[in-house]
Structure 1
């Protein structure tokens, strides 16, 4: 009976994670009424090349003054790499197609966890926002989506602030990939700002980076695979 219970719990946790990761990101992003490759847009080949160029690489490696990728730094890279002028609104359309559009807290949960997430938002989240305001800290909602149409596959790890600013990186997924430590550290920036980070069910606690600086407070969003996930750790709707 104990083995059967463990297997059932493992299956539920795996399903929850797959749902949370989603898979709703996709290439090629185009505006309504336009086709990929038209003026002001990237061709599909350019978009795939761009995704490959971003894998595991941060803006400072391209001499861009950003800790993580944003609409602004991606716009600059597109201009430099493809000699194509593109406004940040169009770049934002690509990011939304990649799965970085706005998501309410309940949308970050699988069907089995929605009630727990809504309860958490009512009971736990207000204390986090008060702590962030007291310390002039930023609140980020962390998650990931898997892009369709790339080879090899690509995961977009994103952090969306309570003000709606998106920061992200692209990785090549492996079996049970941990939450990238470098990504979390870069949220704090060179100024070492205090940040509160809400982590969705994409990563169980044992895949979080350990021994983070005290200025980085991690909070788990309730998930099927977490015991006691509603208790804050050491977060606003997100995008």
Structure 2
């Protein structure tokens, strides 16, 4: 009976995580059926090359003045790498196609977790925002999207501020990858700002970085997978 219950919990957790991570990220050229050489945009080959260029590296590796990728730093990399000047709105369209952007809290939960997330938003989230205001801190919502249409597969790890600013990195996924420590530390920036991080069910608690500086305050969003925390 105990083994069956554990197996059932693992199945629920796995389903929940697939729902949370799955998102709707897709290579933009695939999504819009872009034709080769379409003006004002990257070709599919260029977009795939861009994604590969972004894997595991940050803007400062290219001399860009950002800790993590944003719409502006991505625009700069495209100019640097391809010699193309894309409008800010066009770059934003790529990010939206990749599944990046503000989401409602309930959209970060599977069907089994929605009620718990909505209760959490009413009962816990106000205290987080008050603490952030008192310490002039930023609040970020962290999540992960599996980007479809690439080979090998790519995960987009993102942080969306309460004001809607998107910061991200692209990784090549492994089995149950941990929340990247470097990504979390870079959210605090060189100024070592205090940040509150609301982490969705993309990562179990035992996949979070350990021994983070006190200026980085993580908060778990309710998820079926939290029962698996170490």
Map 1:1-239 to 2 at 5 A: 1-29=1-29, 35=35, 37-227=37-227
Structure 1 unpaired stretches of 5+: 230-239
Partner of 1:50: helix, strand, or coil?
helix
Identify if the C-alpha distance between structure 1 residues 197 and 112 changes in structure 2 by more than 3 Å, giving closer, same or farther. Answer: same
Report how far residue 87 of structure 1 moved.
1.3
Structure 2 unpaired stretches of 5+: none
Partner of 1:158: helix, strand, or coil?
strand
Report how far residue 225 of structure 1 moved.
1.4
Contact map agreement 2:204 2:228 (CA 8 A) in 1: no
Report how far residue 70 of structure 1 moved.
0.2
Report how far residue 186 of structure 1 moved.
0.1
Report how far residue 40 of structure 1 moved.
1.1
CA distance in 1, matches of 2:75, 2:36: 17
Task: State TM-score, norm by structure 2.
Answer: 0.96
Contact map agreement 1:30 1:93 (CA 8 A) in 2: no
Contact map agreement 2:34 2:44 (CA 8 A) in 1: no
Aligned residue pair count:
229
Larger helix fraction of residues: 2
CA distance in 1, matches of 2:224, 2:81: 42
Residue of structure 2 in register with 1:232 after alignment? none
Q: 1:118-158, CA deviations, whole angstroms, 9 ceiling, x for partnerless residues? A: 00000000000000000000000000100111000000000
Q: 1:83-129, CA deviations, whole angstroms, 9 ceiling, x for partnerless residues? A: 11111111000000000032100000000000000000000000000
